[in-house]
Amino acid sequence: MIIKKAEFVISNSDPKLCPPTDLPEFAFVGRSNVGKSSLINMLTGFGDLAKVSAAPGKTRLINHFNINDEWFLVDLPGYGFAKIGRSSRLQWLSFIREYLAIRENLYCVFALIDSRHKPQANDLEFMTYLGYHEIPFSIVFTKADKMSKRQLDLNITAYKNELLKSWEELPTIFITSSGTKLGRDEILGFIDQVVKPIKN
């Protein structure tokens, strides 16, 4: 997939105000500081599409981006640690869940996982929520260039083993690095498999 257009459309905290469209949507979400903005910029090739911040929790709204007039990339607020109050975190979680529940054109949630860490409870809880509500999702391990390949393999195996304690089958898994563009072709190819039949 060649991305020729990546255009910001709207930010809001009310899923009912998301763009009315039949275009497929692909949402990106993960714990705060997982590298989501860097990954989005790497995938689209537009370096300033999503705002990158050293402080976790910068994304606080549902952000829609029009990609090639063919699909929407949706940047969702992160969960977990962020320098905000508890009431704000609960509010975010509420409208994220509402968005996931009502968007009929949501084809896949990319659940981002920091590959440097052992399995985190809030990541596992979020994926369990997606599975329980039959929301299609894929796992995207980020920051794969931040450690040796051996350590990366050990960390990802630990995650798989943890998931297989309660899952019979794992979702599609991508391994990525925003710095080296690892995984870019695989994720865009995955999206293209969905978009191309709809477009044609």
Distance CA 4, CA 43 (A): 12
pLDDT digits (tens, 9 = 90+) for 62-117: 899 999 999 999 999 877 644 445 555 555 678 888 899 999 999 999 999 999 99
Distance CA 174, CA 158 (A): 15
Q: How many residues does the chain have?
A: 200
pLDDT digits (tens, 9 = 90+) for 146-161: 999 999 999 999 999 9
Backbone angles phi, psi at 27, to 5 degrees: -100, 145
**Mean of the pLDDT values across residues 28-39?**
90
Confidence of residue 58 (pLDDT cuts 50, 70, 90): very low
Domains, the chain, ranges and CATH? 6-199 (3.40.50.300)
- What angle is formed at CA 141 by the lines to CA 12 and CA 37, rounded to 5 degrees? 35
Distance CA 40, CA 51 (A): 10
Distance CA 117, CA 23 (A): 35
**Mean of the pLDDT values across residues 178-199?**
92
Amino acid 188: pLDDT:
96
Confidence of residue 183 (pLDDT cuts 50, 70, 90): very high
pLDDT above 90 covers what percent of the chain? 56
Confidence of residue 21 (pLDDT cuts 50, 70, 90): confident
pTM: predicted TM-score of the whole model, two decimal places: 0.89
Confidence of residue 164 (pLDDT cuts 50, 70, 90): very high
**Mean of the pLDDT values across residues 183-188?**
96
